[in-house]
């Protein structure tokens, strides 16, 4: 499935996303990140040390099952967001590792 198809997939319900987020959130919180599920089903992960560092995630179908997807802004300001598959929802350790890597601040 390409990104175009992922954008047109029916999103899971808020309750389904919340249940999946409850599996992932403890690992992200242990890494020092904040996690919230918006009513539209987008999961926002933030670095509290730099609130500009936010990564939205969504759950979408990929390879026959639900996957965590990175959500990126579309090509234009008013365009729909784009989704890139990250990992299956059951692989919470790998999802947390990747998200933490993206949102970590390393002092040089």
Interstrand relation of 65-72 and 82-88 (parallel, antiparallel or unpaired) = antiparallel
Q: What is the pLDDT of residues 17-48, one digit of tens each?
A: 999 999 999 999 999 999 999 999 999 999 99
Separation between Cα atoms, residue 1 and residue 8, nearest integer Å: 11
Q: What is the pLDDT of residues 41-78, one digit of tens each?
A: 999 999 999 878 999 999 999 999 999 999 998 888 88
pLDDT of residue 51: 79
| pTM value surpassing 0.75 | yes
């Amino acid at each position: 499935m390409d990104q175009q198809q992922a954008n047109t997939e029916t999103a899971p319900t808020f309750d389904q996303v919340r249940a999946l987020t409850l599996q992932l959130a403890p690992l992200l919180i242990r890494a020092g990140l904040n996690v919230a599920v918006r009513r539209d089903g987008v999961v926002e992960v933030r670095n509290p040390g730099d609130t500009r560092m936010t990564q939205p995630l969504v759950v979408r179908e990929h390879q026959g099952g639900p996957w965590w997807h990175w959500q990126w802004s579309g090509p234009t300001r008013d365009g729909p967001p784009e989704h890139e598959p990250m990992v299956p929802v059951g692989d919470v350790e790998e999802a947390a590792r990747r998200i933490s890597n993206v949102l970590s601040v390393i002092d040089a």
